[in-house]
Amino acid sequence: MLKIQLCLLALLLGLAIAEETRKSYKGYKVYLLTLETQAQLDFLNRMNDDLLTKDLAGEVELWTERNQLTKALPQTVNMMVSPREDKEFLRLINGQTIQHKVEIPDLSVLLEEESYISPSDQRVISEGGMTWTAYHRYSTIERFLETLATNYSAIVEKSTLGKSYEGRNLYLMKIGKPRADGKTKPAVWMDAQIHAREWIACATVTYMMNKLVTEYGLNETVTRMVDQIDWYVLPVINVDGYEFTHTNERLNRLTRQINPFSSRIGADPNRNYDHKWMLQGATQQAGTEIYAGPFPFSEPENLHLTEAVLQRRNQIKTLLTFHSAVQMWLLPWGYDLIYPDDYQDLMQMGVRATDALTAVYGTRYAVGSSTELLGAAAGATDDWGKAKAGVKYSVTVELRNPRGFGAPSTASSFILPPEQIIPSGLETFEAIRVVGEIVYQEFGPTLN
């Protein structure tokens, strides 16, 4: 009896501590500022640099593409401001006569809506199931992967790639019907959640896995996809960062590794690959959104991914790494404004895949060089996949933005209402269907 009471107490304490560490965004506002003059732009640049040194990160944050300002004027930018810093922030902004309005009056309201789990979802989760009407913790995703592998062993294989920095297992799922003659089929690799806060990424990818597996033999298109192609899926790569977005800071992008030279935790894993590491669009300033880590592959999760891809490099013909939220199909090279020789083929696949995606609900996508569309950023998965693993079609897929096509990606773009998970899954499935068809046509039914 005493044991039970003690256990209960420990559980309650654990919950209390978890509650306490979760950052509350109560009263946090998101402003839209319009910068019209060079003086205002310079002022905001200085303010942004100051924020890091004064350790106000998390209280006042610039929310623009990769948290950097461009040189363009006029320019609109978002700033997130805590209730504590609001007065001082307004004083400074007004001092520069910067036009501003409140775009999100209370960020916590948005987050509460996002994390709402309906009673029916609750029931499914408590029974060990998975849903696509809510965002889920890693333990739920782990159980889902296990269930797929157990219940559909004829077409699903689950393997463990190794552990994250904090010791969580990273899983690779293989979905494919083995050929009767034992020959190797061409494969497509998909990974998601390298950026912790981009929750729609693993939600979409798990939705697509579920469709591939549960509709095999029932739906002609799905059956063909699983017969012709092996689909390798790593649904959550930055798993520590992902859990941290659930338990502590919803808007964290980075990993959770302690840094050797800084008290700031984590690095941007999408700047941590060794191809042209740190060349452009990355920094050595720990704590920033584009901190590339102290050296290439400092993040163990990245290394696990590369080992898994390299082991299957002759088989994998396309690599899709899922992010959000600018609705783009991004092609190499991303480290500089240089185009690979086979760029036309990559463009063709991108246009066909996103046309099929758009046909479902009209969600528009841009297709093109990621440097051209977003600016150079070295050390990302796509460049590594093409340069170091020799995967011809190596693509970053940026999923839905809640404000739609063309809207800038700011931190609130990662808060996509859970009602959009299934639509995102369905439309993105059309894109991967086309990818499968192109890979099958180009590389043939077998590779040996």
- So which residues are the catalytic ones? 398
What the block records as the tokens of 80 is: 């997130």
**Cα separation of 255 and 117, whole Å?**
26
Question: In the complex, what is the shortest distance from the CB of residue 371 to ligand 0X9, in angstroms, rounded to a whole number?
Answer: 7
In which order are the strands placed within the sheet that holds 230-234? 156-163, 169-175, 230-234, 187-192, 316-324, 393-399, 328-331, 366-369
Question: In the complex, what is the shortest distance from the CB of residue 384 to ligand 0X9, in angstroms, rounded to a whole number?
Answer: 9
Q: Report which of 355, 383, 354, 389 is spatially closest to residue 369, judged by C-alpha positions.
A: 383
What the block records as the tokens of 21 is: 């560490």
Which member of 29, 136, 185, 195 binds Zn ion (CB under 5 A)? 195
Question: In the complex, what is the shortest distance from the CB of residue 230 to ligand 0X9, in angstroms, rounded to a whole number?
Answer: 25
CA-to-CA dists, residue 398 to 203, 322, 329, 364, 442, angstroms: 13, 6, 6, 11, 25
Q: Would you call 436 helix, strand, or coil by DSSP?
A: helix
Nearer to ligand 0X9, 65 or 442 (CB): 65
**Cα separation of 199 and 401, whole Å?**
12
**Which residues have CB under 8 Å from 223's CB, separation 6+?**
215, 216, 217
Nearer to Zn ion, 136 or 195 (CB): 195
Nearer to Zn ion, 40 or 252 (CB): 252
Is position 323 an interface residue for Zn ion (rule: CB under 5 A)? Answer: yes
CA-to-CA dists, residue 313 to 192, 287, 317, angstroms: 19, 33, 8
The secondary element (H helix, E strand) that includes residue 138 is helix 138-151
396 touches, from ligand 0X9, Zn ion, none (C-beta below 5 to 8 Å by class): ligand 0X9
Cα angle 39-41-45, degrees, rounded to a multiple of 5: 115
Site for Zn ion in 56-115 (CB under 5 A): none
Task: Identify residue 145 by its one-letter amino acid code.
Answer: L
Q: Residues 269-308 vs Zn ion: string with x where CB under 5 A?
A: ----------------------------------------
Nearer to Zn ion, 40 or 409 (CB): 409
Binding region for ligand 0X9 (CB under 6 A): 66, 195, 198, 270, 323, 330, 334, 370, 374, 377, 380, 382-383, 396, 398, 409
Question: In the complex, what is the shortest distance from the CB of residue 412 to ligand 0X9, in angstroms, rounded to a whole number?
Answer: 13
Question: In the complex, what is the shortest distance from the CB of residue 401 to Zn ion, in angstroms, rounded to a whole number?
Answer: 12
370 touches, from Zn ion, ligand 0X9, none (C-beta below 5 to 8 Å by class): ligand 0X9
Task: Identify residue 439 by its one-letter amino acid code.
Answer: V
Q: Answer whether 236's CB lies under 8 Å from 138's CB.
A: yes
DSSP bridge pairs for 32:
78, 101
299 touches, from ligand 0X9, Zn ion, none (C-beta below 5 to 8 Å by class): none
How many residues touch Zn ion under the rule CB under 5 A: the total is: 2
230 touches, from Zn ion, ligand 0X9, none (C-beta below 5 to 8 Å by class): none
Question: In the complex, what is the shortest distance from the CB of residue 377 to ligand 0X9, in angstroms, rounded to a whole number?
Answer: 4
Q: Would you call 341 helix, strand, or coil by DSSP?
A: coil
Nearer to ligand 0X9, 136 or 197 (CB): 197
The span of 127-135, 293-301, 315-323, 338-346 binding Zn ion (CB under 5 A) equals 315-323
142 touches, from Zn ion, ligand 0X9, none (C-beta below 5 to 8 Å by class): none
Q: Answer whether 321's CB lies under 8 Å from 399's CB.
A: no
Q: Tokens 């992010």 — which residue? A: 323
Nearer to ligand 0X9, 300 or 385 (CB): 385
Which residues make up the interface to Zn ion (CB under 5 A)?
195, 323
